Amino acid sequence: MMAPSAQASAAPWQQLRPVGQGEMNWLWFKLYDATLYSQSGRYQPGHYPQALTLTYARDIERDDLLTATAEEWQRLGLGSETQRQQWLGQLATFWPDVAAGDTLTFYVDEAGIAHFWWQDKPLGTLTDPQFAVAFLAIWLADNSRDPALTRRLRGQL
């Protein structure tokens, strides 16, 4: 078994530079802090590696995370219905319930392959490059649910 400090140092996004950060709120509740990372420290759509780290401020059940993800993809018009259902089915096999203080990191490698890490431990991988684009769009699309957070993550504020 690997020591925690050695395991944490193996996390690939730790070699990346922060682009921007912000927090997501719903009504008057803080949901999470978000930080976007890239190799250059600048936001460049489609240039990987990139990572998005979410540190949760509240407990959220896996099914609620999946529902919110599905709603955002639908609202943004991302992927076909078949693709969205396939992606959600894959996420359902490994996404956890999250508790306040938990960190979920989405890392996209140079090939556009998506890797999820929870508490700095590998969680699961999706190999469809369109998934990486669709998942990041929830936070980075021009018409995201929280345009101010998008600008902060992109380093524009």
Taking residues 82-108, report their average pLDDT: 97
pLDDT confidence of residue 27: 80
**7-56 tens-digit pLDDT:** 444 788 889 999 999 999 888 899 999 999 999 999 999 999 999 999 99
pTM of the model: 0.90
> Structural domain of residue 94, as residue ranges?
4-153
Average pLDDT, rounded, for the chain:
92
Structural domains of the chain, count: 1
Which CATH number does the domain housing residue 78 bear? 3.50.70.10
For the CA atoms of 31, 32, 33, 39, the dihedral, rounded to the nearest 10 degrees, stands at: -130
Q: Has residue 4 got a pLDDT over 80? A: no
pLDDT confidence of residue 19: 98
